[in-house]
Every structure is written in structure tokens, then in C-alpha cells.
Chain A
Amino acid sequence: MLVFYLSLIDDEENQNKFKMIYEKYGNSMLYTAIDILKDDYLAEDAVQEAFLQIAKNIKTIRTDTSAETKAYVVTIVRNCSYRMAQKNSKYIIMPEDNIIEETVADKTDYESRTVSIVMYEEMKKALATLDEKYVTPLVLQEQGYKISEIADSLNISQSAVKMRISRAKKMIYELLEAKK
């Protein structure tokens, strides 16, 4: 019986969590989407897409602090907006992740590599030049989400998440090496 009541509370909690996210961060999400897409209608589509992702993963979203939650929802809506922008672009975008997954993963241990602290500004610039699809998994990982949670949030496979993180690090490292 205790399990039954707990599960009831759990459901209600998730519903309230979703409503809270919408009421508290809905405008911020729309603002971010408009900022990226420069189109109100497309932005609303991106926000709807982001809310669908949020609803699917409502249980994993951390709401301990509003900064954490806001960072997550902004990351998700940014990702959806960039995807929407790609969909609406005139150019054909190759489904790169599917190709990458087939190739050998980069096993370089970046944990053991060192860089000069003076390269920090260069690193930020390099990060800003990266495609959003590589940045988003890095951001979610930094926010403390597990690979499986990131995969669910972005609706991609876990191996694709690992690959994107690995590729992002490789690209940044190579950009820094080139600057030396």
C-alpha cells in the first residue's frame, strides 16, 4: 500500500514539475528559440519540441536549484532550435552521427593531457565555433547528467553521445594545438 501511495505522489510530482517548468521557464525558452531562429513560428515549434523531450525525461530532470533546471531547459531548447534551423536550411545535412557510429571511436584520454592555462580564452573561442550538436552533450555532462540521460534527453543513442563528446574534445584539442 505504501508503494501505491508513493507512486501516486510520484506521478503528481512529475506533473507539477512539468507545469512548473512551463510556467517558470516557458518565456525563457521561447526567447532563446527566437534568438536562434529569428522566426516566431519556428521558435514556437522548437519550444514545443523541447517540451516534448522534457516531458519524456521529466523524471531525470534535476530541479534542486532553479539555476540547474534553467540551464537544462535552455540547453534542450537550444538543441531543438539548432536542429530546427538545420531542418529548414536550404542545404542537405548529412546524417553524420550515423556514419560516425560506424567508425572507430576516438579513445584518446584527454584527462591525462595537459594544456597551458593561458589557453583558456582560446578554448572558449574554440568551444564557441563548435556545432551545437557537439556542445550540447558536453554541457549536459557538465550539468551532471549521465550518458544514458543525455541520450534520452537528446533522443539519440548512448554511443552517439559518447562519440559527440569525444569528437568535441578532439576538435577543441586540435584547435588549441594549431594555435600554439
Chain B
Amino acid sequence: MNNQVSFDSLLRMAVREMYTEQVNSIPPEDKLKEIVHPSDKLKRRINQIVNRETRNEKLIHMHKIASRVAVIILMCISLSFATLMTAEAVRESVATTILEWHDKFTRIFIETDAQPEKLPEIRFNYIPEGFELVEEESIKSNTYCNYTFFSSDNNFLRIQISASAENSKNTFDNERASVFKITVDESIGTWISHNSINYLIINNDNIVFTISCRCAIEEIIEIYKNIEIL
């Protein structure tokens, strides 16, 4: 007679019988009440576990609900945004806002809030050798003028003078420009070095001078110092 069985199944049977015996060896509940008397301390500790687990469950539950609500709100916003973006006016305003934010966080604005005045007559007593004024590139109005000079080696010198108007605005990419404060003849100005071009922006008695050239800052300061206001 073949009495061989799988070791695993026989073990499973033995395990089952063992724990069934263990469970059956425990007296019925009515007898247990006479035998064991859980202390009040144990009851309190178990109640603490219940309360703690309930609290944890509630927290997890609240977290789940909050996540679901957040996802739903996000979906609604995305949906309404996608719908609104089909309107040209909304697209334009969004683009404008994005550009404004971009400018706000990536550029330097140097502005003055003084009232605009008429520009006085100006004479340049010093212009570095080799630079010639190019009339076609220059602009002159009552409140603003721009003198552009070119040298034979194609270098340029630009002198912009503004009667401290609100339109005296210079923008630079602050990631690539080095910016310094500079004092020339008791006037505080800004020296910006960007792409090997030096810029000097200086406010002298409500007249804003912006001088830019691919030359040393000392040369630019010299040009500024030799600008005569008539």
C-alpha cells in the first residue's frame, strides 16, 4: 500500500490541527469572564489604541479627501483655462502677463520719476579720436536726443540725453550684465558692462545721460565730464 504523501500538505494539516487545538483549549467566554479579569489600566490602554487609530484613520481620511478635492479643483481650473484660452483677448492678456513677469524677474529697470523738462543746449568738448558723428543715426527732440558716433574700425559711441522724462528707461538682461554703482562729480550713476560694451547711466540735475561704447569706462567718464550744458 502506498502511504507516501507530500511533505508540504502533511505539514499544513499538522499546522491546522495544532492551531485549532490551541484555539479550542481556550475556555468559552462565560467561563473566561470568571477566570480572567482585565485591569482598568488595560482597558484604558486599549481605548487609547482605539482612539489613536481612529484619529489616524481620520487624518488619513481627511488627507485622501483633500487630495481628491485638490485634483478636482485642478481639473476644473485646467478645463476652464483651456476653454478660455480659445478666446483671443484672454490669450493676449495671458501673454502680456507672462511677458511682464518675465521682465520683472529677469531685467533691470532704471527709471526716474521727475517731471519732463525741455533739454538745454549741449556741447561735447571731448570725443575720442577717430569717432565721427553720424547725423542719420542721431535723433534730437525737445526732451530727448541721441547722438551716434562711428569710428573707422566700426566701433560706435552712443550718447543719449533725456530730460529726466518717464521715457528714460533702460533695460538689460541681468543674467549677463555686471552692474556697479559709480559716483562722478558727486552724481551717482550706474555702470553696466554687457557684451564688452560699457554703459554709463547718470542723472545730473534731472538730465539723464546714457553713454555706451565698446571702450574703457574711464573713457566714457571722460566723455561725460566734458559734456557742457549751455
Contacts of A173 in B (CB 8 A): 7
Contacts of B8 in A (CB 8 A): 110-111, 113, 169
Please state if A117 and B4 are interface contacts (CB–CB under 8 Å). Answer: yes
Chain B CB within 10 Å, residue with most, of A7, A8, A19: A7
Please state if B50 and A115 are interface contacts (CB–CB under 8 Å). Answer: no
Chain B: CB-nearest residue to A142: B15
Complex Cα gap A14–B39 (Å): 25
Complex Cα gap A14–B42 (Å): 21
Select B14's contact among A14, A27, A123, beta carbons within 8 Å.
Answer: A123
Chain A CB within 10 Å, residue with most, of B3, B36, B58, B64: B36
Contact of A32 with B by CB under 8 A: yes
Contacts of A31 in B (CB 8 A): 26-27, 32, 35-36
Please state if A110 and B36 are interface contacts (CB–CB under 8 Å). Answer: no
Return the CB mask of B13-24 against A: 1 if under 8 Å, else 0.
Answer: 111111110110
B52 to chain A minimum Cβ distance, whole angstroms, is 8
Select A3's contact among B42, B57, B68, beta carbons within 8 Å.
Answer: B68
Contact of B82 with A by CB under 8 A: no
Binds B, one of A66-74, A95-103, A150-158: A66-74
Return the CB mask of A30-59 against B: 1 if under 8 Å, else 0.
Answer: 111010000010001001100110010010
Chain B CB within 10 Å, residue with most, of A26, A34, A70, A118: A26
B4 to chain A minimum Cβ distance, whole angstroms, is 4
Contact of B5 with A by CB under 8 A: yes
Report if A116-B11 is in contact (Cβ < 8 Å); known contacts: A15-B54, A27-B32.
no
Report if A15-B50 is in contact (Cβ < 8 Å); known contacts: A28-B26, A127-B18.
yes
Report if A138-B68 is in contact (Cβ < 8 Å); known contacts: A27-B38, A55-B49.
no
Report if A115-B27 is in contact (Cβ < 8 Å); known contacts: A7-B61, A26-B46, A110-B11.
no
Report if A115-B26 is in contact (Cβ < 8 Å); known contacts: A15-B50, A30-B38, A48-B45.
no
Q: Which of B39-55 contact A (CB under 8 A)?
A: 39, 41-42, 45-46, 49-50, 52-54
Contact of A4 with B by CB under 8 A: yes
Give the bracket for the number of chain A residues in contact with chain B. Answer: 35 or more
At the interface, is chain B mostly helix, strand, loop or mixed? helix
B26 to chain A minimum Cβ distance, whole angstroms, is 5
Contact of A89 with B by CB under 8 A: no
Contact of B104 with A by CB under 8 A: no
Complex Cα gap A60–B105 (Å): 53
Which 8 pairs of residues, A with B, have the shortest CB-CB distance? Answer: A27-B32, A113-B7, A114-B4, A55-B53, A44-B42, A142-B15, A117-B3, A111-B8
| Chain B residues with a Cβ under 8 A of chain A | 3-8, 10-20, 22-23, 26-27, 29, 32-33, 35-36, 38-39, 41-42, 45-46, 49-50, 52-54, 57-58, 61, 64-65, 68
Listed A/B pairs (27) with beta-carbon separation below 8 Å: A4-B65, A4-B68, A7-B61, A7-B65, A15-B57, A19-B50, A27-B29, A27-B33, A31-B32, A44-B38, A55-B50, A71-B19, A111-B6, A111-B8, A114-B5, A117-B3, A117-B4, A118-B3, A119-B10, A123-B10, A127-B18, A139-B15, A142-B12, A142-B15, A142-B16, A169-B11, A172-B11
Known: A27-B32, A74-B26, A116-B4. 5 other contacts (CB 8 A): A22-B50, A78-B22, A111-B7, A115-B4, A120-B10
| Chain A residues with a Cβ under 8 A of chain B | 3-4, 7-8, 11, 14-15, 18-19, 22, 24, 26-28, 30-32, 34, 40, 44, 47-48, 51-52, 55, 58, 67, 70-71, 74-75, 78, 110-120, 123-124, 127-128, 135, 138-139, 142-143, 169, 172-173
